[in-house]
């Protein structure tokens, strides 16, 4: 499967629908008040770079990189549509995020994600790519419903 990763401005209805799907998925797998996924307005901030993943004419996933400071970033909005899971979409998006983070000179790349079976594939993806478990960063608080990961670049 040929996957193309493109910078995206979040203006198309198709991409907006994918963000809505992502938010709904996070809400369905996390208790109220424990979802830290970014909504469209937050993804459009200057500190956030957003990519859409395409398989031909089909939107198959997305991901974003939020700058935390001059030497660190945070992975946000990683999502692969159900029909494309297991085909390398998440890896392709993560590869682009890692390339961009290195090009920017980041030393650390962080992420916060959920716990439980719905998040097992994401945990596995990040661990395979050299991320390790860490404590909370930024303004996040640790709860029974989230975990934190770090990759030193």
Provide the pLDDT for residue 5.
98
Q: Alpha-carbon distance 23 to 52, whole Å?
A: 16
Provide the pLDDT for residue 34.
62
Provide the pLDDT for residue 35.
64
Provide the pLDDT for residue 115.
87
Provide the pLDDT for residue 31.
60
Reply yes or no on whether the pLDDT at 4 is more than 70. yes
Say which residues have a Cβ less than 8 Å from residue 105's Cβ, sequence separation at least 6.
Answer: 70, 71
Q: What is the pLDDT of residues 76-103, one digit of tens each?
A: 999 999 999 999 999 999 999 999 999 9
Per the structure, the count of domains in the chain is 1
Domain span at residue 34?
4-152
CATH number at residue 115: 3.40.630.30
Question: Quick one: which of 62, 58, 78 has its CA closest to 129?
Answer: 78
- Single pTM value for the model: 0.93
């Amino acid at each position: 499967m040929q996957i193309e990763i493109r910078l995206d401005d979040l203006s198309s209805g198709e991409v907006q629908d994918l963000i809505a799907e992502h938010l709904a998925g996070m809400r369905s797998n996390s208790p109220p008040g424990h979802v830290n996924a970014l909504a469209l307005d937050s993804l459009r901030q200057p500190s956030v770079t957003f990519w859409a993943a395409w398989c031909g004419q089909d939107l198959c996933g997305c991901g974003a990189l939020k700058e935390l400071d001059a030497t660190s970033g945070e992975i946000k909005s990683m999502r692969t549509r159900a029909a494309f899971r297991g085909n390398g979409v998440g890896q392709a998006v993560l590869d682009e995020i890692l390339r961009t983070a290195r090009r920017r000179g980041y030393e650390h790349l962080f992420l916060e994600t959920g716990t439980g079976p719905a998040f097992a594939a994401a945990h596995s993806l990040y661990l395979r790519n050299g991320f390790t478990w860490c404590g909370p960063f930024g303004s996040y608080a640790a709860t029974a419903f989230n975990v934190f990961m770090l990759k030193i670049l």
